[in-house]
Amino acid sequence: MKVSKKVYSAMMGMALGFVMSLLMSFVMLAVSLGFVQGFLLIWLQSFGLSFLVSIPIGMVAAPLTERALRAVLCVQE
């Protein structure tokens, strides 16, 4: 399937947000609470909230970060 660079960037941002939210919410919850009764439900709620927050942040931060790195590192396209 062929998609535009803009669509690919959006899909990549959402996929990265999903994976990072999934893993980070699990690790941070396990570290702060331990594996308590109801851990799975608490983790799923935490993951859902972090995923909803990570998507808009990733959609804004990723292009800005890429632009800044390209400027600083003089990357040619």
pLDDT at 75 over 80: no
What is the per-residue pLDDT for 76?
66
pTM over 0.75: no
∠ CA 68-74-76, nearest 5°, is 105
* pLDDT value, residue 32: 93
What local confidence, expressed as pLDDT, does residue 77 receive? 61
- pLDDT (tens digit, 9 = 90+) per residue, 21-70? 899 999 999 999 999 999 999 999 999 998 888 888 877 887 888 888 88
8: tokens are: 């690919």
